[in-house]
Structure 1
Amino acid sequence: MQYDNPQALLDHAQSFAGSTLGELCERYKEQVPQQLLHKKGWVGQFIEMILGATSGSLAQPDFPDIGVELKTLPIDEQGRPLESTYVSVVPLIDIQGLCWENSVVRHKLMHVLWVPIVASREIPIEKRQIAMPFLWQPSVEQEQTLKQDFEDILDHVSMGGIEQVDARLGEILQVRPKAANSKALTDAIGPDGSTIKTLPRGFYLRPQFTKHCLQQYFTETQV
């Protein structure tokens, strides 16, 4: 599906507001999983499918023609994010020349379509409801903080300190392990500059930050 501009994508996404995942699955002839333990990415993939995202797992925004990334955001009934939001893989080797300006993280976060979904654990998957989607772009201050977080994390990686990086580092961006299991190891720079094996890592947005984005949007729309 082609969109001429971000507003056209937003209009389409907002047409789903108020619908449950079960209703949308019925409309698009999809099966609702019984549980998400082994299908953790199903909700995001389903929303990508019905909106016509084209990038899949490529290192670019989901809608490259208009430069917009799609992010589903599980929230509780009070509108609070339930988890951190995955952005992209943390590069652990061959990072010479990599900077904020040419990073996948920046490309993905410069324009985001947020699709909040009321998804508390006690709500059956088919009853989980789409809240109002909205477009977001970082302010100058937010991008500066994102850049600082990104550079701090990359400094640790380049100095062979990936094993010392945990979720406490970073004001907006944090690093978390991203692997199907503990055997899915990848190469990284070790403390002495040699190659070591470690779990893959991902860049994630902190829930406090996505909560701020939600509050900012809904405050603006009520003015």
Structure 2
Amino acid sequence: MKPEPQSEQELLERAWQIAGMSYQQLAEEANMIVPPDLKKDKGWVGQLLEWHLGATAGSKPQQDFENLGIELKSIPISYSGKPLETTFVCVAPLTGVHGLTWENSHVRNKLSRVLWVPVEGEREIPLAERRVGSPLIWSPSQEEEDQLKADWEELMEFIVLGKVSQITAKHGEVLQLRPKAANGRVLTEAYGSNGKPIRTLPRGFYLRTQFTANILQNHYA
């Protein structure tokens, strides 16, 4: 893995250096093998980018570039430049949430400064041939932060009240809460509406595609 970048500028320069390159080219340099597809290797693209950019956090809750306070997010896009899927932010806390505020939440921490790396995501392009796009560094505007905060508070209220099972993908304007598990057998502890512990699927916070599409559009327009 490349050494950790020492500044935001150095990180952005590295991201520009790999823009336009294919996964095959990047994998060869990193001594990695390109999988046939991403069905069993969902995090592979992120790992490839982390290697080239020098990210150190891995799957820990802090930002990928902790010293710089920057999170790395790859974003698969269509031929027209629109995001093809929602963006995972972080795992949602289902216990110990009393007293948690937006200001000290993982979601806000992760999204305070983000290096977005668009990547080709159309399924018909073989994985090895897909290329990395032009990077951008983003922090939420006041309006975006207000939207995120409102959704986070609404979703967390469900969790606090023991109504996690009532949350659907329709809740949240820009941020949604969805099951986040490799399979239906992975369960975690939460609380039911009667205050007693229950077992449920882990949940994750995801950014809706319309929100990330606006980020890209505002930057590249």
The TM-score bracket by the shorter chain reads: over 0.9
* Residue 167 of structure 1: how far off its partner (Å): 1.0
**Residue of structure 1 equivalent to 2:169:** 167
* Structure 2 residue corresponding to 1:45, chosen from 44, 47, 53: 47
**Residue of structure 2 equivalent to 1:181:** 183
Q: Distance in 1 between matches of 2:17 and 2:57?
A: 22
Matching residue's letter, 1:189: Y
Q: Distance in 1 between matches of 2:11 and 2:50?
A: 11
What SS class does the counterpart of residue 88 from structure 2 fall into? Answer: strand
What SS class does the counterpart of residue 13 from structure 1 fall into? Answer: helix
Q: CA offsets, 1:12-64, max 9 Å, x none?
A: 10111110101111222211011211111111111111111011111111001
Q: Distance in 2 between matches of 1:176 and 1:42?
A: 21
Q: CA offsets, 1:138-164, max 9 Å, x none?
A: 001111111111111100000011001
* Residue 115 of structure 1: how far off its partner (Å): 0.5
Q: CA offsets, 1:60-84, max 9 Å, x none?
A: 1100101000000000111010100
Q: CA offsets, 1:165-222, max 9 Å, x none?
A: 0111111110111001101011111011111111000000000111100101101xxx
Runs of 4 or more above 4 Å deviation: none
Q: Distance in 2 between matches of 1:198 and 1:89?
A: 14
> Number of paired residues?
219
Q: Distance in 2 between matches of 1:77 and 1:17?
A: 16
> With structure 2 as the length reference, what TM-score do the two structures score?
0.97
Structure 1 residue 70 corresponds to structure 2 residue 75:
no
Q: Distance in 2 between matches of 1:157 and 1:119?
A: 33
For 1:1-223, list aligned pairs within 5 A: 1-219=3-221
Q: Distance in 2 between matches of 1:75 and 1:152?
A: 29
Matching residue's letter, 2:206: Y
The RMSD of aligned alpha carbons is: 0.8
> With structure 1 as the length reference, what TM-score do the two structures score?
0.96
Q: CA offsets, 1:72-103, max 9 Å, x none?
A: 00001110101000000111111112111111
Q: Distance in 1 between matches of 2:81 and 2:160?
A: 38
Gaps of 5+ in 1: none
User: How many percent identity over aligned positions?
Assistant: 48
Q: Distance in 1 between matches of 2:149 and 2:9?
A: 27
